Amino acid sequence: SGLWVTSRARRLMQPGYGYGYGPPQGYASAPGYGMPPQQPAYGYGAPGGPPPRQSRENTAEDLDRIARTIHVGGIRGLKGTPGVNPGEEITEDDLAAFFGNDGEVVGVRINGTNCWIEFAEAAGAISALAKDGTESGGHHLRVSASKTPIRSNGYLKGRQIQLERARERATASGSPAPTTAAAAPTEAARQMSVDEIVHAVRVDVNQAVEAAKAQGTLVTVAPPPPVVAMSAAVDAGG
């Protein structure tokens, strides 16, 4: 049986169907006699290069997801591979359909010639590991346990499954349910105009005064005498 269930993917699996993979023809250039070895290219870990990135510490949830995730190599024609037509590439849906024989797939990530598959249960990952070293439709599969969780899930159906289960866990624990879209702003969160702000302040002040009157805690302060009266008193005293 072929690797993928879709007709497009089956065409990719036909023997002899390829994209010119393999080493280029001809002899590679060799360093001259007595030449010093090449220095490493500028990059991470190279002398003078930027410091290596700090690895992210895995949480308990990350460790659980790692136990349910596999890394797969040896698949030709993955989405985004140079030289592969967009309509003939192997997508996240194709990978989920194939590895769905081992268990429910909730996450797929494709990066270059590598891909990662996350299962809903660890049993699915264990079953998929048995495919390591096997050949299917001209693809020589290299399957191993993943060292990291999938942080960029390209499998839409899997994202929906994860969201629904996160909502179920949140409901069971009494926590706010996650959502993919931001909630619409409430009336209190809406930006108020200047007139609305002034009106709200006046209402609050009036309510506070009425409440103080009702409780008998309102303290009144006599206003200062007018400036004109004070000036007249000073002149009279002089």
Q: Is the pLDDT of residue 202 over 60?
A: yes
**Structure confidence at residue 21 as a pLDDT band (50, 70, 90):** very low
Closest CA to 72 of 8, 13, 120, 3: 3
Tell me the pLDDT tens digit for each residue of 54-103.
667 889 999 999 999 999 999 999 998 898 887 889 999 999 999 999 99
Average pLDDT over residues 108-115: 94
Q: Per-residue pLDDT for 30 more than 70?
A: no
Distance CA 76, CA 14 (A): 12
For residues 71, 77, 79, 82, the Cα torsion angle rounded to the nearest 10 degrees is: 120
What is the β-pairing status of strands 142-145 and 139-140?
A: unpaired
Comparing 230 with 198, which gets the higher pLDDT?
198
User: pTM to 2 decimals?
Assistant: 0.52
Whole-number Å distance between alpha carbons of 150 and 116: 7
pLDDT confidence of residue 183? 41
How far, in Å, CA of 155 to CA of 97, rounded?
11
Give yes or no for a contact between 20 and 83, defined as CB atoms under 8 angstroms apart: yes
Q: What is the mean pLDDT of residues 120-134?
A: 96
CB-based contact 148:66 (threshold 8 Å): yes
Mean pLDDT of the chain: 75
- The pLDDT assigned to 181 comes to 43
Neighbour-count burial of 99, counting CB atoms closer than 10 A to its CB (0-12 exposed, 13-18 middle, 19+ buried): buried
Q: Report the pLDDT value the prediction gives residue 141, as an integer from 0 to 100.
A: 95
pLDDT digits 0-9 by tens, 203-226: 677 777 777 777 777 666 666 666
Closest by CA position to 96, among listed 66, 135, 124, 76: 124
CB 162 within 8 A of CB 179: no
What lies within 8 Å, CB to CB, of 51 at 6+ separation is 44
- Phi and psi dihedrals of 169, rounded to 5? -65, -40
pLDDT of 235 higher than 50: yes
Which range among 19-23, 34-38, 70-74, 150-154 shows the weakest confidence by mean pLDDT? Answer: 19-23
Give residue 187's pLDDT: 44
